[in-house]
């Protein structure tokens, strides 16, 4: 039987001269294993009483803070990370180890996305983008590094589902790793993931339908009327946990939308640690990711917690959706 390829071996094979990136990812994966263990063993603690309110005025679960702390500890220990922007903190966090001052990477992180569903035991995830600050003209200023997405060099998510997975886009390829709990290691399980060019699953919070603009409403009607006009129905799937919804979209094909609403005119999802990393993954896998008429990766980040409406998934479906959406621009 061929020897299994763990994350370290995989990274060594691809990025021999980039030990810092290997170290950062190794440390993040260790944090994810701790979070995965905690999630698996703590269902009795996942009640609403474990909640408080975060800086966005949203409900924060104690596991949000737990997950953030694991990543911050791991990244501080790694000495490979200069700063972090996290969903749970107002401003950039400068890491404090002596070597961090010279470290190359800035990480945008949603430590535990989808946590508002955690009490009903649905899959949740951690989302991240990795930026090389030395690709920017102002490497000492995290806000400047993240302003345009050109210095993003990798992105990924950990999905805490029945199995824990890491899906990571790096060097023009997307690869999936599954946690082997007996080894405490992520093993390459889904090499070179390609999103299907077309699909028939659409994923959106349909309860917001009457708050969407006309173009989005027209596109959703087109999705609902597939059987009537084209003979074969689409399927609607929405978990409400972005990592799980994107993961299905990536593997099965389909389209994921979180449009602007009248209540949230910029949409709900955050550009730095939700939209951009997922867009980076989807695009490296051969799909498309838009926000309004633009590619998500072309949108500048003017504030760390900026939001953006998103449409992403199989290229053919996104192109069709975009034709409907453009009609209301
Ligand atoms: P969170 O970062 O507070 O967990 O919110 C993000 C989540 C995403 O995982 C998901 O796609 C979206 O919120 C669902 O929002 P809604 O319940 O409005 O459909
Ligand atoms: Mg989130």
129 assigned ligand-binding residue: no
Concatenating the DSSP letter of every residue in 19-30 gives HHHHHHHHHHHH
Burial class (CB in 10 A: 0-12, 13-18, 19+), 222: middle
CB of 217 within 6 A of ligand 1: the answer is no
User: 268 CB less than 6 Å from ligand 1?
Assistant: yes
Can you say whether residue 178 is alpha, beta or left, with left for phi > 0 and alpha for psi between -120 and 50 degrees? beta
Q: Is 203 annotated as a binding residue?
A: no
Query: CATH number of 201-327: 3.40.190.80, 2.60.40.10, 3.40.190.10, 3.30.565.10?
Result: 3.40.190.80
Q: Which ligand is nearest to the CA of 127?
A: 2
CB 133 near ligand 1, within 6 Å: no
Q: Is 281 in the pocket of ligand 1 (CB under 6 A)?
A: no
Tell me the CA–centroid distance for residue 114 and ligand 2, in Å.
Answer: 6
Angle at 167 between CA 165 and CA 171, to 5 degrees: 150
| 287 close to 195: Cβ distance less than 8 angstroms | yes
Q: Give yes or no for residue 18 CB within 6 A of ligand 1.
A: no
| Residue 117 CA, closest ligand 1 atom number | 4
Q: What is the pLDDT of residue 58?
A: 65
| Atom number of ligand 1 nearest to Cα 56 | 3
Q: For a pLDDT cut of 70, what percent of the chain falls above it?
A: 92
| Structure confidence by residue, pLDDT tens digits, 261-299 | 999 999 999 999 999 999 999 999 999 999 999 999 999
Max CA pair span of the chain:
64
Q: Residue 18: which pLDDT band, with cuts at 50, 70 and 90?
A: confident
* 68 assigned ligand-binding residue: no
Confidence of residue 13 (pLDDT cuts 50, 70, 90): confident
**Residue 87 annotated as lining a ligand binding site:** yes
Give the number of the ligand closest to the Cα of residue 257. Answer: 1
Domain-wise residue ranges, the chain: 7-190, 201-327
195-235 pLDDT tens trace: 999 999 999 999 999 999 999 999 999 999 988 888 899 99
The CATH homologous superfamily of the domain defined by 7-190: Fructose-1,6-Bisphosphatase, subunit A, domain 1 (3.30.540.10)
The ipTM is 0.97
- Are the folds of 7-190 and 201-327 the same? no
C-beta 298 within 6 A of ligand 1: no
Residue nearest to atom 17 of ligand 1 (CA): 240
Q: 4 C-alpha to center of ligand 2: Å?
A: 32
pTM listed for this prediction: 0.94
Model confidence over 24-69: pLDDT tens digits?
999 999 999 999 999 988 655 555 555 666 666 666 678 899 999 9
């Amino acid at each position: 039987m061929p020897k299994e390829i763990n994350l370290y071996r995989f990274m060594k094979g691809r990025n021999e001269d980039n030990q810092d990136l290997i170290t950062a990812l190794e440390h993040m994966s260790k944090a994810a294993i701790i979070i995965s263990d905690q999630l698996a063993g703590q269902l009795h603690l996942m009640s609403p009483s474990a909640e408080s309110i975060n800086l966005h005025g949203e409900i924060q679960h104690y596991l949000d803070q737990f997950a953030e702390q694991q990543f911050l500890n791991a990244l501080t220990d790694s000495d490979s990370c200069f700063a972090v922007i996290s969903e749970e903190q107002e401003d950039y966090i400068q890491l404090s180890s002596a070597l961090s001052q010279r470290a190359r990477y800035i990480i945008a992180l949603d430590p535990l996305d989808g946590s508002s569903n955690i009490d009903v035991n649905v899959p949740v995830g951690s989302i991240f983008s990795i930026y090389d600050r030395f690709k920017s003209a102002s490497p000492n200023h995290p806000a400047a590094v993240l302003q345009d997405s050109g210095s993003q060099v990798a992105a990924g998510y950990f999905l805490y589902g029945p199995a824990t997975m890491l899906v990571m886009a790096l060097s023009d390829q997307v690869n999936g790793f599954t946690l082997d709990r007996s080894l405490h290691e992520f093993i390459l399980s889904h090499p070179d993931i390609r999103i299907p060019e077309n699909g028939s699953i659409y994923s959106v919070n349909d309860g917001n339908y009457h708050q969407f603009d006309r173009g989005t409403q027209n596109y959703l009607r087109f999705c609902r009327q597939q059987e009537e006009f084209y003979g074969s129905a689409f399927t609607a799937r929405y978990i409400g946990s972005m990592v799980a919804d994107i993961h299905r979209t990536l593997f099965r094909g389909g389209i994921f939308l979180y449009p602007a609403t009248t209540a949230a005119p910029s949409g709900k999802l955050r550009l730095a640690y939700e939209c951009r990393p997922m867009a980076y993954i989807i695009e490296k896998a051969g799909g498309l990711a838009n926000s309004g008429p633009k590619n998500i990766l072309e949108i500048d980040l003017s504030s760390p917690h900026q939001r953006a409406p998103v449409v992403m998934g199989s290229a053919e479906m996104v192109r069709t959706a975009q034709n409907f959406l453009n009609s209301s621009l």
